[in-house]
């Protein structure tokens, strides 16, 4: 057993910022599933939304967020996040992040994205996430109080409620004590105890066939929290980014919203614009509106994609504002200064997640969730562009403040992982086949446009696959792929059940059977059942429910 003050699962912006804000006073363990820079934060292109000049206002940013969220944003949380925007940007600048400045060096260049009424998105060219991630990651590597465990994946949380033969009288309620973690370099599961455990594992985009997310986005934190007893909310609201590059050799390359923010136009193959027919805000409509418009045009006309055209801008402008997009498209034979960019929607962001309060607390004592893993109430039914990295920063700061205010308490001795009742897998084809099948029917049945029949079919398939994977998990040693597949199936079920519960169309959830929008906006909250606890009690593995 390894012991720390704070265990952070996930190495994106939320996890990195929390680690750096707490490491002065705490002993930190930061787990990264792959390398530290393999995160969705690192892939973020557009920027971070914050009120940074006198032309803008806190109230305007709040209003834009509320409009995009289609009535489901938490007003108090939204105000808190927006009001802390500038100070978190200042903190990043203090850490050494180099944001793009105006040509005359009069200040930082601010761009505008869909749904925003002002230019308020601060950025580092078109690779903001990479600039922020690499800067903070280097500081984490050098910090003496942070132990970085790369190529490690959490298997499950350890809680007092689920650990048998443990004296829980020290705790007033169910409390997280740490996690079991698989070391992918050795294949061994280690036990990590911690006074505070933080889920910062990102979203679940890999549950869909087409996504802008990296391979690590398998909903691990959401699934683990659910199994441990946390509520989840608003999982039906999966944001599909309107403009993912349509190319056989670059299926996850995002064409940032800043291209439309700086004048890019969406067109049909014949060069005709179509967004004016769908919304008066045209190309600067919120993402759900643009994604549905593109999906409608593709299905109506039987075409493979639509096109994003920025070629009317000068070459110098394009290279200056979108250097990475320009370079990557050129590598694929597309000169965006002369020709249109083929694009399609792709799963991009999980707006729902583990329910938390304004400090990142979950339903379980000493367990926090921050970033895309969490449902804080900020995004509602649809995330406003560039509010995601802002949320990571603000809640990383809030959780750090809360953790630092807590008194120290000893971490008890926890039982080791026991593999005495399982064997090596005889064949791995089940994992690969199930993963592929899951992603395909989630794309077809639980995508941009949904029906009751599609959702019912998806849930039926999920239950069949879940039983097969459960049997596999019960009898064989865990692997990275098996852990991810188990989590994806759990998250898929949460998405489908949430979608089935919403009998209206709102924000990112559009149902052909329920096209109306109810007058009252009500979050979808799922309460954890004891189903998985019962399953876990029969496992050969010593999950927190039962030690082998």
Other beta carbons within 10 Å of 101: 11
Contact status, residue 49 vs residue 120, Cβ threshold 8 Å? yes
Name the catalytic one among 227, 287, 328, 506. Answer: 287
Q: Which residue in this structure is represented by tokens 């941009």?
A: 448
Closest CA to 53 of 128, 144, 133, 119: 119
State both tokens at 181. Answer: 């973690």
Q: Which residue in this structure is represented by tokens 């790369």?
A: 150
State both tokens at 476. Answer: 């064989």
Half-sphere exposure of 208 (CA within 13 A, CB side): 28
The distance between the two most distant Cα atoms of the chain, rounded to a whole number of Å, is: 71
**CA–CA dist 151, 160 (Å, integer):** 27
CA angle 45, 46, 51 (to 5 degrees): 145
Contact status, residue 472 vs residue 200, Cβ threshold 8 Å? no
Contact status, residue 346 vs residue 334, Cβ threshold 8 Å? no
**CA–CA dist 509, 539 (Å, integer):** 36
How far, CA to CA in Å, does 74 sit from each of 66, 69, 87, 379, 388?
Answer: 8, 9, 21, 8, 15
**CA–CA dist 172, 157 (Å, integer):** 18
How far, CA to CA in Å, does 504 sit from each of 312, 343, 519?
Answer: 40, 29, 10
Query: Would you say the C-alpha torsion 302, 303, 306, 307 has a positive or negative sign?
Result: negative
Segment (H or E) for 59: helix 58-68
**CA–CA dist 431, 434 (Å, integer):** 5
Query: Would you say the C-alpha torsion 31, 22, 348, 327 has a positive or negative sign?
Result: negative
**Annotated catalytic, 112?**
no
Q: Which residues are CB-contacts of 333 (< 8 A; sequence separation ≥ 6)?
A: none
150 by Cβ neighbours in 10 Å (0-12 / 13-18 / 19+) ranks as middle
Q: Which residues are CB-contacts of 316 (< 8 A; sequence separation ≥ 6)?
A: none
How far, CA to CA in Å, does 271 sit from each of 307, 308, 339, 450?
Answer: 8, 10, 11, 29
Half-sphere exposure of 359 (CA within 13 A, CB side): 13
Go through 126-139 and write b for each residue having 16 or more CB atoms within 10 A of its CB, e for each that does not. Answer: bbbbbbbbebbbee
Catalytic residues, by residue number, are 287
């Amino acid at each position: 057993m390894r012991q720390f003050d704070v265990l952070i699962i996930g190495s994106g912006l939320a996890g990195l910022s929390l680690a750096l804000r707490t490491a002065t006073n705490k002993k930190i363990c930061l787990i990264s599933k792959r390398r530290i820079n393999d995160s969705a934060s690192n892939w973020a292109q557009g920027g971070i939304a914050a009120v940074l000049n006198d032309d803008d206002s806190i109230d305007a940013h709040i209003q834009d967020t509320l409009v995009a969220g289609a009535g489901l944003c938490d007003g108090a949380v939204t105000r808190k996040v927006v009001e802390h925007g500038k100070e978190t940007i200042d903190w990043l600048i203090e850490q050494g992040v180099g944001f793009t400045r105006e040509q005359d060096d009069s200040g930082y260049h601010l761009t505008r994205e869909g749904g925003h009424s002002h230019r308020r998105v601060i950025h580092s060219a078109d690779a903001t996430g990479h600039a922020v991630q690499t800067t903070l990651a280097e500081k984490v590597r050098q910090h003496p109080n942070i132990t970085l465990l790369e190529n490690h994946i959490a298997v499950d949380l350890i809680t007092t409620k689920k650990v048998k033969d443990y004296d829980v009288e020290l705790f007033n309620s169910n409390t997280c004590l740490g996690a079991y973690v698989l070391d992918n370099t050795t294949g061994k599961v280690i036990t990590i105890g911690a006074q505070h455990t933080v889920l910062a594992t990102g979203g679940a985009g890999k549950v869909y066939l087409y996504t802008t997310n990296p391979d690590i986005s398998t909903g691990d934190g959401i699934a683990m929290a659910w199994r441990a007893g946390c509520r989840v909310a608003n999982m039906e609201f999966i944001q599909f980014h309107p403009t993912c590059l349509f190319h056989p050799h670059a299926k996850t390359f995002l064409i940032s919203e800043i291209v439309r923010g700086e004048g890019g136009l969406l067109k049909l193959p014949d060069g005709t614009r179509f967004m004016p027919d769908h919304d008066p805000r045209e190309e600067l409509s919120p993402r759900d509106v643009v994604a549905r418009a593109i999906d409608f045009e593709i299905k109506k006309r039987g075409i493979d994609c639509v096109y994003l055209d920025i070629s009317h801008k000068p070459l110098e402008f394009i290279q200056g504002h979108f250097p990475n997009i320009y370079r990557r498209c050129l590598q694929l034979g597309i000169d965006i200064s002369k020709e249109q960019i083929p694009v399609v929607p792709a799963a991009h962001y999980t707006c729902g997640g583990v329910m938390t309060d304004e400090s990142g607390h979950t339903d379980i004592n000493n367990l926090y969730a921050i970033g895309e893993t969490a449902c804080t109430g900020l995004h509602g039914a649809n995330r406003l562009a560039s509010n995601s990295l802002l949320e990571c920063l603000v809640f990383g700061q809030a959780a750090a403040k809360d953790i630092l205010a807590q008194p120290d308490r000893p971490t008890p001795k926890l039982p080791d992982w026991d593999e005495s009742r399982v064997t090596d897998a005889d064949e791995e084809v089940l994992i690969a086949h199930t993963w592929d099948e899951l992603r395909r029917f989630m794309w077809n049945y639980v995508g941009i446009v949904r029906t009751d029949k599609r959702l019912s079919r998806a849930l039926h398939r999920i239950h069949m696959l879940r039983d097969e994977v459960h049997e596999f998990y019960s009898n064989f040693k865990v692997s990275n792929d098996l852990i991810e597949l188990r989590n994806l199936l759990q998250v898929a079920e949460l998405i489908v059940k949430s979608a089935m519960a919403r009998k209206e169309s709102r924000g990112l959830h559009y149902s052909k059977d329920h096209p109306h929008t109810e007058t009252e906006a009500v979050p979808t909250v799922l309460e954890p059942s004891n189903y998985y606890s019962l399953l876990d009690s029969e496992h050969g593995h010593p999950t927190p429910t039962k030690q082998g």
